[in-house]
A and B are shown apart, each in its own frame.
Chain A
Amino acid sequence: MAYSEKVIDHYTNPRNIGTLDKSSKQVGTGLVGAPECGDVMRLQIEVDEVTGIIKDAKFKTFGCGSAIASSSLATEWLKGKSVNDALKIDNMDIVEELALPPVKIHCSVLAEDAIKSAINDYRVKNGLEPIEDDKKHY
């Protein structure tokens, strides 16, 4: 299968690989997917205590090139956004940006879920209700 240039770029030079301190109250961690499905994404955000802005985002992904690119792109988009704005990131934006073929749309879905899951982890840690996901992905 031919990958788009952007997927190849993210795969070759992934942005923001790494690990944040998951015990920190300012850090939200999302771990989605399953090894037997061939995709596991871990996405972490670090939220500024004062401004509520995501000041850092890191990922690690086990998966195909599209999965790696989707999570790499997600971390780029997350940095500098408020938590509320981050919730607006839609998987179809990722599909469009990376020109993912239909068979790889699930990679973008996984990235969106990882974002939501990280945000919810952060919210719960800070005494807030987790946000219900009204989009049914599976």
Chain B
Amino acid sequence: MLKLPIYLDNNATTPMDPRVLEAMLPYFTDNFGNAASRNHSFGWKAEEAVDYAREQMAALINADAKEIIITSGATESNNLAIKGVFEMYAAKGNHFITVETEHKAVLDTLKHIEKAGAEVTYLKAREDGLITIEQVEAAIKPNTVLASIMYANNEIGVIQPIREIAQLCKSKGVLFHTDATQAVGKIPVDVIADGIDLMSFSGHKMYGPKGVGVLYVRRKNPRIKVTAQMDGGGHERGMRSGTLNVPGIVGLGKACELCRLEMAEDTARISKMRDRLEQSLLVLEESYINGNTEHRLPHVSNMSFKYVEGEGLIMGVKDIAVSSGSACTSASLEPSYVLKALGLDDELAHSSLRFGLSRFTTDEEVDFAINHVKEAVTKLRDMSPLWEMFKEGIDLKTIVWQEH
């Protein structure tokens, strides 16, 4: 029997893997020590667990354990990377480069430092969500200190040409940061081969716990430092003070290890299900995939169903948990800024659904989702005046709408 609703919003967060929980449990009770306590075995045990977890995290991204700065999550990591570089490298320059389709944790942090005197170039993504090396190259100036470009997009899953961008940045003496929250644990990410200087990721997007994340900070070629945004006991090589969240760190370490060992197998299975979901829904007339399909995460699909409205559609697919490009529910009536940045018509941006599959998604659940979405789209189109006009061959762009 299927348990409803079916969770297909794994880009928002993933359930924790039971093996992760199991690894964490002793660190809430028996091994509760403070990893910074140097005088007794409680502290030593905690420190040992943290060191081990750091190795597990480093192994997943081919980093050194000393390069792992533990934070509360990717939002904090992005803040620390951007504000930390802005302050640490102020003498070098004040120009930053990013992309319009970044996560708000990057965009709003950049907005913040703009007020403090930074200059930011926002690159426009192409229709498929990708940017080109040429765009980055053209934006680099003598005072550019950092380019921050996400590894894979959270709404449409497209993967940017990170390795090429990082190499370009290196050749121009520009630091390179990537928000890899959606990518780490899902696709191979190698900070050495890719040439990444700073990288953010989070536990809860990869079957780990919430409230713990990482900022990778390169220590060699070049050695990078960021100014701490949280002052205190000088934890994390002075870059992030605060008593370590030992159970969370142990959990994230375990989650990283599982992803490293099982990624290939998970990807093969999940991408097959994703493709089946997508192909089955593309059978519906006037349905579209948003974003590049070649350079894309294996578990994400963002689709638009023209002439139905996103929030109405979300209500119609109540037995599956997905997210909509339409932000009506959050009281602002704006459709997704990411989809709009790709140049999507408003009505397509409004009528999109994001499906995010996981390690725990089953074929049976995908079958259910396919039928459920098909039924809802068909039902809503039957009551959509726009669908009727489309069927009558009326071009909606010729109609003078009474806007509110």
CA distance A36 to B385 in the complex (A): 14
Identify A62's interface contact among B328, B384, B402, CB under 8 A: B384
In the complex, the answer to whether B312 meets A35 with C-beta atoms within 8 Å is no
What's the count of A-B pairs with C-beta under 8 Å? 93
- Give A31-50 interface residues, CB cut-off 8 Å to B: 31-42
In the complex, the answer to whether A37 meets B403 with C-beta atoms within 8 Å is yes
In the complex, the answer to whether B401 meets A33 with C-beta atoms within 8 Å is yes
Please give the distance in Å from A107's CB to the nearest CB on chain B: 10
- Give A81-137 interface residues, CB cut-off 8 Å to B: 103, 106, 109-110, 113, 117, 137
Which one of A14, A34, A106, A137 has the greatest number of beta carbons of chain B within 10 Å? A34
- Which residues of chain A are within 8 angstroms of B385 by Cβ–Cβ distance? 31, 40-42, 60-62
Please give the distance in Å from A78's CB to the nearest CB on chain B: 17
CA distance A34 to B401 in the complex (A): 5
CA distance A59 to B386 in the complex (A): 12
Residue of chain A at shortest CB distance from B386: A62
Residue interface bits B372-404, CB-to-A below 8 A is 1, else 0: 000000000011111110000000100101111
In the complex, the answer to whether A14 meets B401 with C-beta atoms within 8 Å is no
Query: With A11-B315, A63-B309, A64-B328 given, is the CB distance from A35 to B388 under 8 Å?
Result: no
Please give the distance in Å from B328's CB to the nearest CB on chain A: 6
Residue of chain B at shortest CB distance from A63: B309
* Chain B contact patch, size range: 20 to 34
- Which residues of chain A are within 8 angstroms of B328 by Cβ–Cβ distance? 38, 64
Please tell me which stretch of B13-21, B146-154, B329-337 contacts chain A, meaning at least 4 of its Cβ atoms lie within 8 angstroms of it: B329-337
B308 within 8 A of A: yes
B205 within 8 A of A: no
B27 within 8 A of A: no
CA distance A39 to B333 in the complex (A): 10
In the complex, the answer to whether B401 meets A38 with C-beta atoms within 8 Å is no
CA distance A11 to B314 in the complex (A): 12
- Which residues of chain A are within 8 angstroms of B382 by Cβ–Cβ distance? 17
- Which residues of chain A are within 8 angstroms of B335 by Cβ–Cβ distance? 38
In the complex, the answer to whether B346 meets A36 with C-beta atoms within 8 Å is yes
B347 within 8 A of A: yes
CA distance A18 to B57 in the complex (A): 58
Please give the distance in Å from A58's CB to the nearest CB on chain B: 10
Residue interface bits B306-325, CB-to-A below 8 A is 1, else 0: 01111110011000000000
CA distance A59 to B383 in the complex (A): 8
Please give the distance in Å from A17's CB to the nearest CB on chain B: 5
Query: With A35-B386, A41-B385 given, is the CB distance from A64 to B404 under 8 Å?
Result: no
- Which residues of chain B are within 8 angstroms of A68 by Cβ–Cβ distance? 312, 383
- Give B332-361 interface residues, CB cut-off 8 Å to A: 333, 335, 346-347, 350
B326 within 8 A of A: yes
Please give the distance in Å from A119's CB to the nearest CB on chain B: 15
In the complex, the answer to whether B315 meets A19 with C-beta atoms within 8 Å is no
In the complex, the answer to whether A64 meets B315 with C-beta atoms within 8 Å is yes
Residue of chain A at shortest CB distance from B334: A38
In the complex, the answer to whether B402 meets A113 with C-beta atoms within 8 Å is yes
Query: With A40-B386, A64-B328 given, is the CB distance from A34 to B311 under 8 Å?
Result: no
Please give the distance in Å from B234's CB to the nearest CB on chain A: 45
A67 within 8 A of B: yes
- Which residues of chain B are within 8 angstroms of A42 by Cβ–Cβ distance? 385
Residue of chain A at shortest CB distance from B348: A35
Please give the distance in Å from A20's CB to the nearest CB on chain B: 12
In the complex, the answer to whether B333 meets A61 with C-beta atoms within 8 Å is no
CA distance A103 to B331 in the complex (A): 6
Residue interface bits B242-253, CB-to-A below 8 A is 1, else 0: 000000000000
Identify B309's interface contact among A38, A106, A110, A138, CB under 8 A: A38
CA distance A33 to B385 in the complex (A): 11
Please give the distance in Å from A65's CB to the nearest CB on chain B: 4
CA distance A86 to B204 in the complex (A): 54
In the complex, the answer to whether B404 meets A138 with C-beta atoms within 8 Å is yes
In the complex, the answer to whether B309 meets A60 with C-beta atoms within 8 Å is no
- Which residues of chain B are within 8 angstroms of A77 by Cβ–Cβ distance? none
Which one of A41, A103, A106, A110 has the greatest number of beta carbons of chain B within 10 Å? A103
Q: A3-B315, A62-B384 are in contact. List 4 more A-B contacts (CB 8 A).
A: A31-B402, A61-B384, A63-B312, A64-B328
The 8 A-B residue pairs with the shortest CB-CB distance in the complex, in nearest-first order: A34-B401, A36-B346, A64-B311, A42-B385, A60-B385, A35-B347, A65-B315, A34-B403
The interface of chain B, by Cβ under 8 A from chain A, is: 307-312, 315-316, 326, 328-329, 331, 333, 335, 346-347, 350, 382-388, 396, 399, 401-404
User: Mind listing 9 A-B residue pairs with CB under 8 Å?
Assistant: A11-B312, A35-B347, A60-B385, A60-B388, A62-B312, A64-B311, A65-B312, A67-B312, A68-B383
The interface of chain A, by Cβ under 8 A from chain B, is: 1, 3, 11, 14, 17, 19, 31-42, 59-65, 67-68, 103, 106, 109-110, 113, 117, 137-138
